[in-house]
């Protein structure tokens, strides 16, 4: 059963990734890049030029491109949430997973953009691509781990606790029923 769920999750993640990758650049810019850049500029008190998708802060100019839109992270977060959210009805779970994954992706990407602005002054230009990748990993991996812990680990602990509680109540009922039979 777990293998089937894992295979389904991989298929969903790849399907969502392909669907998001097929979106026009304008849609990705409007839905992912602009909100994250706008949040980053609000935090930084910086200027954001929408047509060129650039953030200018602290003497640094960063151009937000499609590769930096967090759509891959959105695909993974959506898949995790679509499978693990504790909403029974699929018609409610899927929209909830889309909205939740989008919010998490935009906020995490905004944090990444802010960190990139701060890191730009500490590293030479030749190291910026590696720093960019490292900051992305340092932001997105813990956020995904937190989602996993919250919706998979913690939820399964609650389920097993509920199951153990139910089993102990069933055992008490069986014992009580056995005692009632012995009295007769």
Closest CA to 108 of 39, 45, 5: 39
Closest CA to 71 of 97, 101, 45: 101
| Mean local confidence (pLDDT), 95-111 | 95
Query: Where in the chain are the domains?
Result: 2-183
- 67 vs 71: CA distance, rounded Å: 8
134-183 pLDDT, tens per residue? Answer: 999 999 999 999 999 988 887 766 655 555 555 555 555 655 555 555 56
For the entire predicted model, the pTM comes to 0.79
% of the chain beyond a pLDDT of 90: 36
Distance from the first to the final alpha carbon of the chain: 45
1-30 pLDDT, tens per residue? Answer: 667 777 777 788 888 888 888 889 999 999
28-41 pLDDT, tens per residue? Answer: 999 999 999 999 99
């Amino acid at each position: 059963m777990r293998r089937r769920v894992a295979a389904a999750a991989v298929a969903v993640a790849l399907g969502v990734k392909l669907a998001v990758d097929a979106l026009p650049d304008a849609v990705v810019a409007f839905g992912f890049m602009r909100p994250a850049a706008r949040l980053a500029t609000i935090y930084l008190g910086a200027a954001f030029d929408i047509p060129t998708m650039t953030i200018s802060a602290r003497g640094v100019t960063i151009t937000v491109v499609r590769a930096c839109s967090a759509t891959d992270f959105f695909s993974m977060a959506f898949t995790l949430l679509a499978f693990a959210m504790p909403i029974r009805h699929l018609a409610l779970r899927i929209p909830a997973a889309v909205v939740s994954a989008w919010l998490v992706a935009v906020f995490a990407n905004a944090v990444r953009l802010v960190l990139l602005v701060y890191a730009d002054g500490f590293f030479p230009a030749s190291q910026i691509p590696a720093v960019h990748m490292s900051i992305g990993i340092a932001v997105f991996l813990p956020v995904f781990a937190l989602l996993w812990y919250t919706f998979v680990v913690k939820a399964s602990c609650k389920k097993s606790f509920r199951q153990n509680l139910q089993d102990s109540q069933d055992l008490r009922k069986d014992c009580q029923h056995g005692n009632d039979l012995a009295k007769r």
